Structure 1
Amino acid sequence: MSTTLLLAILPAIAAVAFVLGRMRANAVSGGRSSALHSRPNYYGAYVALAALLPPLILIALWLTISPFIVNSSVRDSFPDAVKAQSPSQQSLAFGMVATIARGLPLLSEDEVRSVKQDPSTLQSVFAAKGVAVAAEAQPYMLDSAATLNAKSQSSRMALAALSIALSLAGAFVALRTVAPRLRARNKVERVVLWSLIGASSIAILTTIGIAASMLTEAILFFRMVPASEFFFGTVWDPRFAGAGASSSGQFGLIPLLAGTLYIGFVAMLVAVPVGLFAAIYMAEYASPRMRSLAKPLLEVLAGIPTIVYGFFALVTVGPFLRDISASLNGLATGNYASFIQAQSVLTAGIVMGIMLIPYVSSLSDDIITAVPRALRDGSLGLGATRSETIKRVILPAALPGIVGALLMTASRAIGETMIVVLAAGVAARMQINPFEPMTTVTVKIVNQLTGDLEFTSPQTLVAFALGITLFCITLALNVYALYIVRKYREQYE
């Protein structure tokens, strides 16, 4: 039985248990709801939860532990020659076995028999079924694949039987405990409370998991490369291990961090004025009809994938800036060589700024409209014009919230990758000319993790050091922005 079918059966059992729980509560109370501690629906929910929660916990534990047990037993069945190989070679062999196991159910008995007689035909037979096998199969792999399928099927059947039995047992025991003085409401609300706590903890646990996964690999990197060379190095040249005797490379963070901050700064120069002025117009000047049209149209920009912005920069903005610079240079000097490259800090900053405009405008608009109406009316009543009211009353009142919104937008700009790859290039260097290409931390993270590399060399592990650095920067920006926004809300709510 598949897990999907099992997860459909258990709610059906819980629904029946809910009905039986209500009926049982009405029966023990003689039809008088006043004789019950809780409403009949709570008794039904109590029985339904008793039928649903224990098997769900069993399924979660089983699906976590069972694959390790099954895979370990299959590995133990490998020939001694395979067991003597390195762990990476054993993992590759087991990956082949798992691929063959997924394809075996698609083969007929005659095809399985022919493959066992001649394993060299396995690739062609599986290819006809739409299953890709990377290498030629060994004879033992077919038997191990059959064993893997059999053990997995047995595990699923055992899980289904135990889960259904546990669900029925839970419903039966809960029905037996239904009594007029049973505090069903308290028990149900306690389960709901713990469910809410678990849901609210997911974000915290996810953040901790992300930080821990990056930190463990980053520690391995800093054991190979001193932290001082990484954080204060000015040269980025991570050579591969086969490059020669002096192949450790140089992993200076400064050029990447400079490119990240430089491109983000240019993007904010584009996004902040346009977004802030758009927010002021929509909040203070636009009619309700214009606002209802302009705000959704502006926020459409936020829904465009970043790769599309990258194409826009590569095909349109970059060549446009290059051609304009060539024309200006030709008019001034007679030499039509362009001084702005198609891939440059300016190109990436402009396109990224366009992408960030809806973030700035939407957040700033919400903050400006949250300023109490009494402040506007008081300023206008004293004789100030609308523009003076905006400059001297509304913007100072909304300033903490706007600053928080800009910091959150800056953290979004720092984490951008695709626009930088296509619009600014991958050159890691330190320079202040915005017409030349630079790169960012996120681009180099992608570069270092691209390809068939093992997580044992500093060339690969440096991606985690870059990731944990970027994580700390963006986390600090977000925390500070939330602090400012919260302080603002405390003032005006």
Structure 2
Amino acid sequence: MPLSWLVIIVLAVSAVGYYLGRSRALAAAGGNSRDLHSLPSYYGANVLMKIIVPAFGVMVIWLLAQPLIIDRSVASMIPPSEIDEGASIGLVMAEVNRTAEGIRNAVAEGTMSREMAEDGRAEFVDFTQRLKDAGQIVTSNLSATIVRAAQRTNEMVAAGNMYMTALVLLIAAAGLGWGVKEAKPLFRARNVVEQGIRALLIGAASIAILTTIGIVFSLAFNTVEFFRLYNAWDFLFGVEWAPSFSGRGGSSSLGVIPLLWGTFYISIVALAVAIPVGLFAAIYLSEYASPKVRAFAKPMLEILAGIPTIVYGLFALLTVGPLLVEIFGEGGWLGVNWQGGGRAVMTAGIVMGIMLIPFVSSLSDDIINAVPQSMRDGSYGIGATQSETIRQVVIPAALPGIVGAILLAASRAIGETMIVVLGAGAAARLSLNPFEAMTTVTAKIVSQLTGDSDFASPEALVAFALGMTLFILTLCLNVIALVIVRKYREQYD
């Protein structure tokens, strides 16, 4: 049974349970809701909760655990002779899972019969030819052992789905009976439902924490796996990025320093554009602009934050890059030959800075407005002008919050990808020339994971190592920014 059907059945049973629970409670009270401890809807909600929560809970746990159990069971079928030198069982299992998915797709599209897909005695050549004819060959390392393991995977998946369906329906039926049985006038349905809602809210609040923990563990495990294949010291302190995983281009040089340099260089250029423009805009909006101008200008400025980054990237590639070449390129307006192509640090930095303007201006505007009016009045009382009050009173008082806003914008710049890919190029180099093409950590993560590479291969594992490096850097910036903002809030709340 498809998973969507199972979900629909459970929801239908819960709807019936809600009606039965409500009706039974009213019937037990003789139709008078005043004789019930709780409102009739609570009795129905109690039945609904006892059906949905355990049924969907078991379903989610089963769907998470089943692939792990199946992979461990099927991995025991793979003999050591099938594992190539330098590879791992994870790489082989990735081939098995892709082949199993190809077989399922071929059966679903009708290009292969179910009997053929499940026939373990089928000739290997005939079987692979059918997969090729169905357009489902997704690996070049297909062998008879992988095909048998893929067939076994599909058998276990089908059996697991059948057992899960039976168990979920049984739990839903048990929850229906339990909830309807409790629908009595003296049952405290409201208390039970409210406790369930409280648990639901706690679970929703925990999702962000659990997601962060999952991301960290995922990055950490894959980073450790990468460092088993490649020296950590060479990765963290190497000054050359020249990956070569095929074995045909010599040994790989995977030094992250050029990527970090490009990341910080482009971010610095972006902040050099965003900080003065954003800060001056914030000062004008908070101190000089009339209410009508502010009501119009601030939303218009914040529209920049809603533009997709791919649009900024196209703007960098098609407009800003050629403009910079006309100014700083050979035969340009200035008569210099600094920028040879449209893709450069300056191109990506300027466009990224434009993207960051609303982050700096909006946060700084809110922070400046939070400075107590009494401080301005005191400054005016001793004869200071408005500009002197802004320079010597308002800005120093708001400075911790402004610094926090700048650090948050910096973390946003470090994590940007599309503007860099389209505007800065893909060259990993150490250079002080802002008119040369460079790349960043995020751009290389995209390039390493583009295509059909296996996530257990070195090509993909290096992307996880880069992601872990970037995660630590942005985490440190965010922590510093939050600490500064918290001190500011403690001072003026």
Instruction: Please tell me the TM-score bracket, short chain as reference.
Output: 0.7 to 0.9
Decide whether the 8 Å contact of 1:122 with 1:137 is kept in 2. Answer: no
Match of 1:126 among 134, 138, 141: 134
Deviation string for 1:336-389 (max 9, x for gaps)?
552123332222211111111121122222223333444445555665443333
- Partner of 1:242, secondary structure, is coil
Distance 1:32 1:371, change over 3 A: farther
| 1:30 CA displacement | 5.1
Counterparts of 1:228 and 1:142, CA distance in 2: 40
Q: For structure 1, which segment, 338-347 or 83-92, has the greater mean C-alpha deviation from structure 2 after superposition?
A: 83-92
Whether 2:239 is the aligned partner of 1:218: answer no
Task: State whether structure 2 residue 327 is matched by structure 1 residue 319.
Answer: no
2:298 counterpart residue number: 295
Evaluate the alpha carbon distance shift between residue 237 and residue 125 of structure 1 in structure 2; reply closer, same or farther with a 3 A threshold. Answer: closer
Normalising by the residue count of structure 2, what TM-score does the alignment of the two structures yield? 0.82
Equivalent residue number for residue 281 of structure 1: 284
Q: For the Cα contact (< 8 Å) 1:441–1:466, is it kept in 2? A: yes
Residue 189 (str. 1) matches residue 201 (str. 2): no
Match of 1:434 in 2: 434
Match of 2:260 in 1: 257
- 2:86 is matched with which residue? none
Greater displacement, 283-292 / 349-358 = 283-292
Residue 366 of structure 2 corresponds to residue 366 of structure 1 = yes
1:9 equivalent in structure 2: 9
Aligned residues: 481
Contact 2:96 2:149 (8 Å CA) reproduced: no
Within the candidate set 189, 205, 208, 2:210 is matched to 205
Using a 3 Å threshold, how does the CA distance of structure 1 residues 491 and 167 change in structure 2: closer, same or farther? same
Contact between 2:367 and 2:401, CA under 8 Å: does it hold in 1? Answer: yes
CA positional deviation for 1:454: 5.5
SS at the partner of 2:204? helix
Range with greater deviation from structure 2 (314-323 or 134-143):
134-143
Deviation at 1:149, TM superposition (A): 6.9
| Aligned 8 A contact 1:119 1:137 in 2 | no
Cα deviation, 1:210-256, whole Å, max 9, x if unaligned, reads 22222222223334444443333333334445247xx4443333322
Quote how far apart the aligned CAs of 1:73 are: 8.2
Give, as a single letter, the amino acid of the residue that structure 1 aligns with 2:110: L
1:442 Cα deviation (Å)? 2.0
* Structure 1 residue identity aligned to 2:400: P
Q: Is the 8 A contact 1:371 1:394 kept in 2?
A: yes
The aligned counterpart of 1:340 is 339
Whether the aligned pair in 1 keeps the contact of 2:98 and 2:138 (CA below 8 Å) is: no
Q: In structure 2, do the counterparts of structure 1 residues 457 and 349 end up closer, same or farther at CA, with 3 Å as the change threshold?
A: same
Check 1:368–1:457 CA distance in 2 against 1; reply closer, same or farther (3 A cut): same
Cα distance, 1:467 vs structure 2: 1.8
1:427-466 matches, within 5 Å, as: 427-450=427-450, 453=453, 461-466=461-466
Tell me the CA shift for residue 66 of structure 1.
4.2
CA distance in 2, matches of 1:8, 1:111: 26
CA distance in 2, matches of 1:433, 1:25: 78
2:477 pairs with 1:477 = yes
Structure 1 residue 478, shift from structure 2 partner: 0.8
Determine helix, strand or coil for the equivalent of 2:82: coil
Tell me which moved more, 215-224 or 309-318. Answer: 215-224
Which residue, out of 304, 309, 312, partners 1:309?
312
Q: Distance in 1 between matches of 2:252 and 2:144?
A: 44
RMSD: 3.9
Distance 1:453 1:101, change over 3 A: closer
Amino acid at match of 2:302: E
Q: Give 2:176's aligned residue.
A: 171
Alpha-carbon contact 1:100-1:142 (below 8 Å) kept = no
Within 5 Å, which residues of 2 pair with 1:107-186? 107=110, 122=130, 126=134, 155-156=160-161, 158-186=163-191
> Structure 1 residues 170 and 316, CA, compared in 2 at 3 Å: closer, same or farther?
same
8 A Cα contact 1:104 1:112, kept in partner: no
Q: Which residue number corresponds to residue 50 of structure 1?
A: 50
Bigger shift: 152-161 or 232-241? 152-161
In 1, Cα distance between equivalents of 2:264 and 2:201: 39
CA distance, structure 2, for counterparts of residue 278 and residue 190 of structure 1: 49
The question of whether the paired residues in 2 share the 8 Å contact of 1:341 and 1:437 is answered with no
Structure 2 gaps of 5+ residues are 84-88
Q: Residue 159 and residue 236 in structure 1: after superposition, are their counterparts in 2 closer, same or farther (change >3 A)? A: closer
- Following TM superposition, by how much is the alpha carbon of 1:325 offset from its aligned partner in structure 2, in angstroms? 2.0
Q: Once the two structures are aligned, what percentage of the paired residues are identical?
A: 50
The alpha-carbon deviation at position 482 of structure 1 amounts to 1.5
Shift of 1:415: 1.2
Match of 2:60 in 1: 60
1:145 is displaced (CA, Å) by: 8.4
* Alpha-carbon distance between aligned partners in 2 of 1:320 and 1:21, rounded to the nearest angstrom: 70
Call closer, same or farther: CA 1:312–1:45 in 2, change over 3 Å.
Answer: same
Q: Distance in 1 between matches of 2:265 and 2:303?
A: 26
Kindly state the Cα deviation for residue 316 of structure 1 after the two structures are TM-superposed: 1.8
Q: Specify the code of the residue in structure 2 equivalent to 1:339.
A: W
Residue number in structure 2 paired with 1:98: 101
CA distance in 1, matches of 2:21, 2:337: 80
Aligned 8 A contact 1:325 1:338 in 2: yes
Distance 1:226-1:72 versus aligned 2 partners, 3 A rule: closer
- How far the C-alpha of 1:403 sits from its partner, in A, is 1.3
Q: 1:122 to 1:288 in 2, by over 3 A?
A: farther
Cα offsets for 1:294-325 (capped at 9, x unmatched): 22322222222223222222222122112212
With the length of structure 1 as denominator, give the TM-score of the two structures: 0.82
Match of 1:408 in 2: 408
Matched-pair contact (CA < 8 Å) for 2:325–2:332: no
For 2:194 and 2:430, how far apart are their aligned partners in 1?
A: 59
Give 5+ residue unaligned stretches, structure 1: none
